Amino acid sequence: MQGLLKLSKLVDTINEWVGRWVYWLVLIVVLISSGNAIMRKLFSMSSNAWLELQWYLFSAVFLLCAGVTLLRNGHVRIDVFAGRFSARTQAWIDIFGTVFFLLPMSILIMSLSWPYFTRTFVSHEISGSAGGLVLWPARLLMPIGFALLSLQGLSELVKRIAFLTGHGPDPIKRHDHDAEAELAEEIRLRAEGNA
């Protein structure tokens, strides 16, 4: 169990590291997109490559962040009933869901998208539009993203089992770091400063 927990920790670290770098792309895409609109207006310049780059980069954001979002329990759930279950029952649900929902889907898409990528990698195919970008880097994001997601799924599985067997803490309660809560605290302080 300890060995598995170490592996799980390693996966968590990898996905956290990926997430920390990838989120900068959000800012970059925002700037590229407003840049596109401004360039078109002011200099009548428009390029398909820059337009495509927007969604290439956004695809990178959501595919590469799939793992870290799972780690932070950020994939939304319907907890009308589940919210009332005990922590142990919820852990059992997560184990069931990971084994029968997440992993089959994620491994299936990963394995199907690999040839989808290699085909364009070998042929150096370029997107349909004039001046478009080469396809394979965007296609490569698919298997990588789903690999990161599968790994994180395995890591979550280990953590749930550790919790149920008494080897680890309740994995769902761990996330105390919440940006919105921090922000609310700041606005509150500022408001009190004014009053």
Ranges within 84-143 binding another protein (CB under 8 A): 85, 90, 93-94, 96-97, 100-102, 104-106, 108-109, 112-113, 116, 128-130, 132, 138-139, 141-142
- Judged by CB under 8 A, which of 7, 59, 134, 168 binds another protein? 59
Q: Let me know if 80 is exposed, middle or buried by CB neighbors in 10 A (0-12, 13-18, 19+).
A: exposed
Please tell me whether residue 167 binds another protein under the rule CB under 8 A.
no
Helix (H, G, I), strand (E, B) or coil at 75: coil
Please tell me whether residue 74 binds another protein under the rule CB under 8 A.
yes
Tokens of 109: 């898409």
Query: Which of 154, 155, 169, 152 shows the shortest CA–CA distance to 19?
Result: 152
- Judged by CB under 8 A, which of 2, 122, 173, 180 binds another protein? 180
Are 172 and 160 in contact, with CB atoms under 8 Å apart? Answer: no
Please tell me whether residue 192 binds another protein under the rule CB under 8 A.
yes
Our CB check for another protein shows the closer of 65 and 162 to be 65
- Judged by CB under 8 A, which of 8, 12, 68, 140 binds another protein? 68
Residue 29 to residue 52: CA distance in whole angstroms: 11
Q: How far is the CB of 139 from another protein (least distance, A)?
A: 8
Our CB check for another protein shows the closer of 74 and 169 to be 74
Residue 142 to residue 61: CA distance in whole angstroms: 11
Question: What string marks each residue from 31 to 50 as x (binds another protein by CB under 8 A) or -?
Answer: xxxx-xxx-xx--x-x-x--
Q: How far is the CB of 176 from another protein (least distance, A)?
A: 14
CA distances from 151 to 20, 79, 108, 123, 190 (A): 17, 25, 14, 30, 42
